Amino acid sequence: MAQPLSGSYGASARRRTNWKKQAFAYALLLPSLVFLTLFTYYPTLKTIWYSFQSSGFGVKAFVGFDQYIRVFENDVFWKVLKNNLFLLIMTVPGSILLAMYVAIWVNERMKGNGFLRTAFFYPTVIPMIAIANIWLFIYTPDYGLLDKFLEIIGVSGPNWLGDSSVVMWAMVIMVIWKEVGFFMVFYLAGLQNLPTEIYEAAKLDGIPPFRLFVRITFPLLMPTTLFCMIIATTNSFKLVDHLYIMTKGGPNNASNLLLYHIYENAFSFWDTGAAAVLTVVLLIILLSISIFNYAYLDKRIHY
């Protein structure tokens, strides 16, 4: 009879220990949960509620999905969404592949390696407002740095920020230039943690460098690539500072993006209902991308 009593007492003691550990863990998480609730979850739910309310300030009335229908019937919304998707498609692969190439290059032991790493990383620490002013000088017609360079080779450049056919390409180049150094740091960390034995065996087998990259380096860097892809995708929907300085979304909304369109509706047009609807759309897009990355891509990556 003593053995079952001892086993029962041991199980009870383990349950008390587990309860104390869980209580301590929740106590540590409590401050973060409070801040998340106050500054993330509550504003998100409030925005969703506002998206079903009539526009403007003061007295509001429940209008259901009328706000959504009004926003979706607006041609500007679809143009802005198309611009954002274009920026996403062009900047995410471009910045990630270029960052990976630069990281492999500066990871080699050579003279001036530290200077090269600093030079590539430096744009990351510059605020986006300053970046916008720098590239505004570069893109200025006739007097800008880019047009002055084109004059040397006898080519006349377009109005980079005033031509609707090239303004988004100008934005893409600027974003890639800023983000490459940031992602390079993560790829450098990933490269320096790869097992050297695999590369030594590959060199003994005489595997060409490109095949070595495709078969070994790139698959082993996929966890880093997934992380960088999530950050780059999020950044492509968060960009707004440069538009205020460079184009104000023009010409004719050719460079307007979803986040800046939300700002315009909320604080320029005072259409809070449309701004809430656009915010919900942005949240759904980012949530869908995150679910796809973590639920689908993450399971197909070798860690």
Bigger pLDDT: 155 vs 132: 132
Report d(CA 196, CA 23) in Å as an integer. Answer: 43
The whole-angstrom separation of Cα 184 and Cα 104 is 9
Distance CA 277, CA 77 (A): 11
Looking at residues 209-238, what average pLDDT do you find? 88
Residue 5 exposure: Cα atoms within 13 Å on the Cβ side: 2
- N- to C-terminal Cα separation, the chain: 50
Residue 23 has pLDDT above 90, yes or no: no
pLDDT of residue 108: 81
Mean pLDDT of 66-73: 92
Contact 176, 202 (CB under 8 A): no
Do the Cβ atoms of 181 and 122 come closer than 8 Å? Answer: yes
Mean per-residue pLDDT, 238-244: 86
Tell me which residue of 20, 5, 107, 53 sits closest to 271, measured CA to CA.
Answer: 53
Domains contained in the chain, CATH given:
75-270 (1.10.3720.10)
Tokens representing residue 48 in the block: 């969703």
Cα angle: 188, vertex 189, 191; to 5 degrees: 65
Query: Between 112 and 287, where is the model more confident?
Result: 287
Number of C-beta neighbours around residue 98 at 10 A: 18
pLDDT for the residue 302 = 65
User: Which of 36, 62, 38 has the alpha carbon at shortest distance from 50?
Assistant: 62
127: left (phi over 0), alpha (psi -120 to 50) or beta: beta
Quote the CA–CA distance of 166 and 281 in Å, as a whole number. 27
- Of the pLDDT bands very low, low, confident and very high (cuts 50, 70, 90), residue 2 is very low
pLDDT value of residue 182: 94
The per-residue pLDDT of the chain, averaged, comes to 87
The whole-number pLDDT of residue 1 equals: 45
- In this prediction, residue 10 has a pLDDT band, given cuts at 50, 70 and 90, of low
pLDDT in tens, 267-296: 888 888 899 999 999 999 988 988 888 777
The more confidently predicted of residues 102 and 56 is 102
The amino acid occupying position 257 is L
Mean pLDDT of 191-214: 84
Share of the chain above pLDDT 70, in %: 92
Q: Which helix (DSSP H) or strand (DSSP E) does residue 136 occupy?
A: helix 128-139
Burial profile 191-219: b = 16 or more Cβ within 10 angstroms, e = fewer: beeeeeeeeeebeeeeeeeeebbeebbee
What's the rounded Cα separation, in Å, for the pair 214 and 117? 24
Whole-prediction pTM? 0.85
Give the whole-angstrom CA distance, residue 146 versus residue 134. 12
The length of the chain is 303
Residues 26-41: pLDDT tens digits? 888 899 999 999 998 9
Question: Is there a contact between 137 and 144 (Cβ–Cβ < 8 Å)?
Answer: yes
